[in-house]
Chain A
Amino acid sequence: DAGVIQSPRHEVTEMGQEVTLRCKPISGHDYLFWYRQTMMRGLELLIYFNNNVPIDDSGMPEDRFSAKMPNASFSTLKIQPSEPRDSAVYFCASSQTSSVPETQYFGPGTRLLVL
Chain B
Amino acid sequence: AQSVAQPEDQVNVAEGNPLTVKCTYSVSGNPYLFWYVQYPNRGLQFLLKYITGDNLVKGSYGFEAEFNKSQTSFHLKKPSALVSDSALYFCAVRGLSTDSWGKLQFGAGTQVVVTP
Interface positions of A (Cβ within 8 A of B): 4, 31, 42-43, 45, 48, 50, 55-56, 91, 93, 95, 97, 100-109
CB neighbours (8 Å) of A100 from chain B are 32, 49, 51
CA distance A104 to B46 in the complex (A): 7
B21 → A minimal CB distance (Å) = 15
Set B32, B104, B108: member contacting A104, Cβ < 8 A: B104
Q: A91-B44, A108-B43, A109-B42 are in contact. List 10 more A-B contacts (CB 8 A).
A: A42-B109, A43-B44, A43-B109, A45-B106, A48-B102, A93-B44, A100-B51, A102-B34, A103-B49, A108-B41
Contact of B80 with A by CB under 8 A: no
| Cβ A55 vs Cβ B102 within 8 A | yes
Jot down 22 A-B pairs with beta carbons below 8 A, ordered by A.
A31-B102, A42-B109, A43-B90, A45-B103, A48-B103, A55-B103, A56-B103, A91-B43, A97-B102, A100-B32, A100-B49, A100-B51, A102-B92, A102-B94, A104-B44, A104-B46, A104-B104, A106-B43, A106-B45, A107-B43, A109-B41, A109-B43
Indicate the member of A55, A95, A104 with the most B CB atoms within 10 Å: A104
Residue ID in chain B nearest A101 by CB atoms: B102
Q: Once the chains are docked, how many angstroms separate the CA of A42 from the CA of B51?
A: 25
Q: Which B positions have Cβ atoms within 8 angstroms of A?
A: 32, 34, 41-46, 49, 51, 90, 92, 94, 99, 101-104, 106, 108-109
CB contact under 8 A between A95 and B102, given known A103-B49, A107-B43:
yes
- Picked from A48, A103, A108, the residue with its CB within 8 Å of the CB of B46 is A103
A103 to B108, CA, bound (A): 18
CB-CB nearest in chain B for A56: B103
Question: Within the assembled complex, what's the spacing in Å between the Cα atoms of A43 and B108?
Answer: 7
| A45–B81 CA distance with the chains assembled, in angstroms | 31
Known: A102-B32, A102-B94, A103-B49. A45 touches B104 (CB 8 A): yes
Bound: A97/B101 CA distance, A: 10
Flag if B42 contacts A108 (CB, 8 Å): yes
Quick one: closest B residue to A50, CB to CB?
Answer: B102
